Amino acid sequence: MLMLVTGGSGSGKSEFAENIAVSCGSDNLIYIATMFPYDEEAFKKVERHKIMRKDKNFSTMECFTNLKKISLPKGTTVLLDCMSNLVANEMYQRDGAKELTFECVLDGVKSIKNEADNFIIVTNEIFSDGIEYDVETEKYLSNLGRINEAIGNIADKIVEVVYTIPIYQKGEKP
Amino acid sequence: MIFVIGGEYQGKLNYVLNLTKLKREDMVDGVCGSEKELEEKQIIYNFHLLIKRLLKKDENIEFVEGKIKDIIQKNPEVIIISNEIGYGVVPIDKFDRKYRELAGRISCELAKEAKEVHRVICGIGSIIKG
């Protein structure tokens, strides 16, 4: 099962995705953390998420770039949080995929989808503030938007979380 | 408490007034309303700007959350209208980031407590909870 979870900032999408991952009932829960703790604020965000999932029995793997390098044992449920950080890392970090961000991220997603029983991806709705950004930021928005669309195409379920309330945009609500 | 959300300029206030047959006089604006009005009026409008106003007064998150909790405790049947924010690129300004994050977190709490949550787009509301 591939599920894409989206929503605005502070909408409760991560917590929702964690609960979905736990409810899959797998013995092997893997959390792929993509946020690079580049400053104090990012570090605090990472800590907040660690506290939120501490009793949920995830084993955490950090992956800032090149999702494809991850290889998984059989029978896993994987939660990736979140796509917006992974895309930024691929575009801007030294060992990132740069111009090949779209292709590289999608290859990684497909490879995990093939190996895991359940794969839940958290992404971000950052496309509606009506501001025209500089070329670099627009390129980032375009990459993330296209990646969301491509994952949406192969996902079994797409859930938009609105202030903790899940709205199923694709697939049936369980 | 009923929570009504949606983007800016989507007709949220008109939607609520039509639905409830309440009048503009029954509404307090979060931008400028007094504590007394917030605790007594049937509709709180621009709730997101009330969060911003409180956060500007005191950047302590607990202070803002406490004030909001007080208002709802004293006005448990209130209809709260708030803009859905947080659907854009992370703001450069630190206060803006803090406000956006806090508005999201408080709205999550309100959505959990609310007996109904309505989401308005182009004047049309859908009930997403209740």
Residues contacting A119, CB < 8 A, separation 6+:
A1, A2, A3, A77, A78, A80, A109, A112, A113
Q: Return mean pLDDT, chain A.
A: 96
| pLDDT (tens digit per residue) in B32-86 | 999 999 999 999 999 999 999 999 999 999 999 999 999 999 999 999 999 999 9
Give the nearest chain B residue to A166 (CA atoms): B128
- What residues of B are in contact with residue A41 (Cβ under 8 Å)? 97
Whether B3 shows a pLDDT value over 90: the answer reads yes
This complex has an ipTM of 0.92
Beta carbons of B108 and A133 less than 8 Å apart: no
| pLDDT (tens digit per residue) in A101-118 | 999 999 999 999 999 999
- What residues of A are in contact with residue B84 (Cβ under 8 Å)? 8, 162-163
What pLDDT, on the 0 to 100 scale, is given for residue B119? Answer: 98
Beta carbons of B85 and A8 less than 8 Å apart: yes
Beta-bridged to residue A15, according to DSSP, are none
In a mutational test of the B interface, the residue from A35, A40, A144, A163 whose CB has the highest number of chain B CBs within 10 Å is A163
Give the nearest chain B residue to A6 (CA atoms): B87
Q: Count the helix, strand and coil residues of chain B and give each as a percent rounded to the nearest 5.
A: 50, 20, 30
Residues contacting B72, CB < 8 A, separation 6+:
B1, B78, B110, B113
H or E element that contains A84:
helix A83-92
How is the beta sheet containing B124-129 ordered, strand by strand? Answer: B27-29, B43-45, B79-83, B2-6, B116-121, B124-129
What pLDDT, on the 0 to 100 scale, is given for residue A98? Answer: 98
Average pLDDT across each block of 10 residues of chain A; the chain has 174 residues. List them in order. 97 97 95 93 92 94 96 96 97 97 98 98 93 95 97 98 97 91
Candidates B19, B1, B2; CA nearest to B123 is: B19
Of the candidates A125, A133, A162, the beta carbon closest to that of B128 is on A162
Beta carbons of A131 and B89 less than 8 Å apart: yes
B117 touches B3 (CB < 8 A)? yes
pTM: 0.94
What pLDDT, on the 0 to 100 scale, is given for residue A174? Answer: 85
